[in-house]
Structure 1
């Protein structure tokens, strides 16, 4: 069947490349415009609006404004850099060059071009090293300038680099074997490889969800059981009241990295765990009784401390100044329970399951479309691949570039859905008579994290997966 001149032009590799390149810049300019709108809010909103005066004081409002302005300005320059870097890589043929370089590496190790999966793993490893190295200055600036300036960073330079190396090693140890398995299935799966690939990704996703918090997260943070006491008893009672199968209750020492706070739960069936960040708890102090009994005369240094503590100070013990500062942040028992009521509302209302189903339907659809497009050599040609058509490069081109319009639409739809889920979870907490405490907790956490409560409506609609503070408070009402 002969194609028309219009169809031939449509599938011309050069036209495909420039169409993708143009869309990439359209998305960038759109995002830059949205960020500019929000940055103007930070710049021009210097007084607490009348509707917020019962929620936030002038000093905190100004701190939040400056924090938001710093992050927005940083994001602007980082975005320019990333866009220019990506454009140069595409225009100058960085992807085929890196594939060729990966081939040279594997050849020296005794693996010829017929070992495509081995070369693919080398390609991904080199790409990861490159992105980590060129992105390091930006991460350093964000952590040790912006977060430090506004009182959130708790890391030392030594701890930071140790953490980055550990993250890189763990990420490669997890991702490279998964990638090898996926590529093998695609190459050997025949006509219906997309079905087998989808089953593989589903199994891997469920496996990682199961093992992450128990075996991977503890490599980076210390998890300890929440001590017996009023808070633990009330959390257990809350779980029982809604038939939440609570199995374990942990506190994670997130304060060694940042003073931002959080809480979450994970696990399947009757093995649910709840994790509270120590920064969420107003009166929590890590218990290190064994360490306090020994080495009392030695100088100790925990991960993340910038300088050696005074001699005779047991590890984990806080100075009087730190204790005073700690009292200013976090939530009391009833407020923590309200936050957990919101989180458990996501479970009770099936939000996590719905998100899992949506993600798996999306993955299946994308793999199916990938199966239809992978034989189209013009996509490879558009990115500089004329003699070989590696499966990994096909995945990269189709999922990252060809599907980019679809990904943008999906991202917006998921943001809208997530906001709806957040309102529903708040309503669930309200049904448990936690509205007034959740209201106070949201205000406290907003202040502790220097969240700026004024948002441009368009920026908020596109980017805020959680509703703005005033909208949540309005939905909750002032009382139960």
Structure 2
């Protein structure tokens, strides 16, 4: 039975892959609606023929990798259970250490290591794709360094989470999901507070903005918005990518507004001021805190659903999975599989909320700066640097886009420009 389930799982994944490929390369329409042709949102007006071709190619392949990678993760965890590898990981831990925490550490290491090896080909393809299309400037050695940092950071968090999670599962067999959520609230806030000053610097160097004239302009904007900002940070990303970005991270006293140095190198001051005004809007409208609250609400619902799915799956296929109850450490792959499914299923909702917040931030930024030319040209440069699709297919938009499409953002700015010109 286990062998048959594994076979059907592999076949289902292969068929899914063919359907996704057909959708992205044959069915989906990413062409610009005719009413936008010739407008400032039309990529033909700011990209040359080669850039247009590369943008379509790169986007399709990158979208294909996205839609293949998450279900591949589900298949991996499914096969880990069916092939008895989860049982083997637990046995290796018991044979190596007599300490319960040591056994858990060894189990989590082997599960993380096998997961890394299984997903490495897709990660490497994504890296080489970015190199081929001149998005990434990172050497293989530097990329592997980041990969290894990722592995050990994720392993450390996973170990702590698993220790607490399985203690709760065994102590509170019915309502462990509720107690796990209660523990996750301070943990999430702690990580959000810690990330800008501890985790992010593991990957890049963050320094106060060197261009003091630009920093003064940005801080003037911050003062207009009643934001108590003292510094703007820049991060050295040019050695890794040609893409542009700016963002707000952290909470409380550790909040930071960050500009990639690629953004500083490729955009002029007016364009950067629009982007900074956009980032300030997230602070003014408390989008970070709303996002945390939304995440915690979704995680409560998700943990409850995962607990129900765990009980159902073990009751029905416990023999095949070699599991008797959720509190067995060997159930971790099943827990991670269901959790990943919940996150994937929730992504259209979280992306929809995010797109709404980003639209609000765009509106705030243009009202603050009043410079539509700078705003539109900034979005055009972002599109060019990242080889982004201006009008992505519908499924790509709802599952991948936490920002409005460039068609939506630029056309909205053009409408604002017309209204301003007409005195409305």
Q: CA deviation at 1:69?
A: 1.1
Verify: 1:122 aligned to 2:110, yes or no.
no
How many residues in Structure 1 have an aligned counterpart in Structure 2?
413
Q: Measure, in 2, the Cα distance between the counterparts of 1:225 and 1:88.
A: 43
Match of 1:109 in 2: 96
Where in structure 2 are the equivalents of 1:122-161 lying within 5 Å? 122-144=106-128, 146-161=129-144
Question: Between Structure 1 and Structure 2, which shows a larger proportion of helix residues?
Answer: 2
Q: CA deviation at 1:250?
A: 1.2
Query: Could you tell me the TM-score, scaled by structure 2's length?
Result: 0.82
Aligned pair partner of 1:470 in 393, 407, 420: 407
Q: CA deviation at 1:210?
A: 0.9
Q: Secondary structure at the match of 1:340?
A: helix
Verify: 1:173 aligned to 2:148, yes or no.
no
Match of 1:98 in 2: 85
Query: CA 1:53–1:111 in 2, change beyond 3 Å: closer, same or farther?
Result: closer
Where in structure 2 are the equivalents of 1:51-450 lying within 5 Å? 51-52=39-40, 56-57=44-45, 60-73=48-61, 76=64, 87=75, 90=78, 94-95=81-82, 97-111=84-98, 115=100, 119-144=103-128, 146-189=129-172, 192-227=175-210, 229-282=212-265, 330-371=266-307, 374-376=310-312, 377-379=314-316, 381=318, 383-387=320-324, 389-394=326-331, 396-397=333-334, 400-401=337-338, 404=341, 407-436=343-372, 437-450=374-387
Q: CA deviation at 1:351?
A: 2.3
1:331-388 C-alpha deviation (Å, 9 max, x unpaired): 1112111011112212222322222112111212233344556555415517522456
Q: Measure, in 2, the Cα distance between the counterparts of 1:453 and 1:110.
A: 55
Q: Measure, in 2, the Cα distance between the counterparts of 1:26 and 1:348.
A: 46
Q: Measure, in 2, the Cα distance between the counterparts of 1:201 and 1:89.
A: 23
- Taking only aligned residues, the RMSD between alpha carbons, in angstroms, comes to 3.8
Q: Secondary structure at the match of 2:135?
A: coil
Q: Measure, in 1, the Cα distance between the counterparts of 2:63 and 2:278.
A: 30
Query: CA 1:399–1:20 in 2, change beyond 3 Å: closer, same or farther?
Result: farther
Q: CA deviation at 1:209?
A: 0.9
Query: CA 1:129–1:243 in 2, change beyond 3 Å: closer, same or farther?
Result: same
Query: CA 1:397–1:379 in 2, change beyond 3 Å: closer, same or farther?
Result: farther
Q: Measure, in 1, the Cα distance between the counterparts of 2:344 and 2:62.
A: 23
Is residue 306–residue 335 contact of structure 2 (8 Å, CA) maintained in 1? yes
1:167-211 C-alpha deviation (Å, 9 max, x unpaired): 222222233123212322332346543333112111111111111
Is residue 17–residue 382 contact of structure 1 (8 Å, CA) maintained in 2? no
Larger RCO: 1 or 2 (CA < 8 Å, sep 6+): 2
Query: CA 1:160–1:263 in 2, change beyond 3 Å: closer, same or farther?
Result: same
Q: CA deviation at 1:40?
A: 6.2
Is residue 335–residue 441 contact of structure 1 (8 Å, CA) maintained in 2? yes
Aligned pair partner of 1:455 in 392, 398, 405: 392
1:256-288 C-alpha deviation (Å, 9 max, x unpaired): 111111111123235432111000103xxxxxx
Larger Rg: 1
Query: CA 1:429–1:391 in 2, change beyond 3 Å: closer, same or farther?
Result: farther
- The gaps in structure 2 that reach 5 residues or longer are none
Q: CA deviation at 1:474?
A: 1.9
Is residue 209–residue 215 contact of structure 2 (8 Å, CA) maintained in 1? yes
Q: Secondary structure at the match of 1:161?
A: helix
Q: Secondary structure at the match of 1:130?
A: helix
Is residue 245–residue 272 contact of structure 1 (8 Å, CA) maintained in 2? no
Query: Could you tell me the TM-score, scaled by structure 1's length?
Result: 0.73
Q: Measure, in 2, the Cα distance between the counterparts of 1:249 and 1:137.
A: 37
Q: CA deviation at 1:219?
A: 1.4
